[in-house]
Amino acid sequence: MLHSDAAPARIDEQEIRLLPKAEVHVHLEGTFALGDILRLAKENGVALPGPAATIFDVSTHDGFTRPEVSTGGTAQGVGGAGLSGFLRFLDWQCGLVRSGEQAARVAYSFAARQTASGVRYSDVIVNPTHWNAWRGREIALMEALAAGFDEAEQDGLGSANIAYSLLRGQSAAEAEQLIGDLVSRRPARVVAVSVDGDEKASGRTGEKFRGAFRLAESAGLRRTVHAGESSGPEGVWDALDLLHAERIDHGVRSIEDPALIQRLIDDDVPLGVCPRSNVTLGLYADWAAHPLPRLVEAGVRVTLNTDDPAPLACTIDEDWAVAAEVYGFDRAQLARFAAESIRASFADDDLKRELLAELELLTPALAGAAPGGTP
Q: Which residues are catalytic?
A: 229
Residues 6+ apart with CB under 8 A from 11: 320, 321, 324, 325, 331, 334
| C-alpha–C-alpha distance, residues 310 and 18, integer Å | 22
Contact 198, 230 (CB under 8 A): yes
Closest to 160 in 3D by CA, of 178, 175, 142? 142
277, 307 in Cβ contact below 8 A?
yes
Backbone dihedral angles phi then psi of residue 90, each to the nearest 5 degrees: -60, -40
Beta strand pairing call for 222-227 and 190-196:
parallel
**Cα separations in angstroms, 15 against 20, 131, 321, 334, 363:** 11, 36, 9, 10, 12
Whether the CB-CB separation of 304 and 340 falls below 8 Å is answered with: no
Phi then psi dihedrals of residue 337, to 5 deg: -60, -40
DSSP secondary structure letter of residue 252: G
Cβ burial 10-48 (10 Å sphere, 16+ → b, else e) = ebebebbbebbbbbbbbbbbbbbeeebbeebbeeeeeee
Whether 234 and 165 have beta carbons less than 8 Å apart is answered as no
Q: Contact 167/197 with Cβ under 8 angstroms?
A: yes
Q: Spell out the residues 6+ positions from residue 136 whose beta carbon is closer than 8 angstroms to its own.
A: none
Strand, helix or coil at 318? Answer: helix
What percentage of the chain's residues is helix, strand, coil (to nearest 5)?
Answer: 50, 15, 35
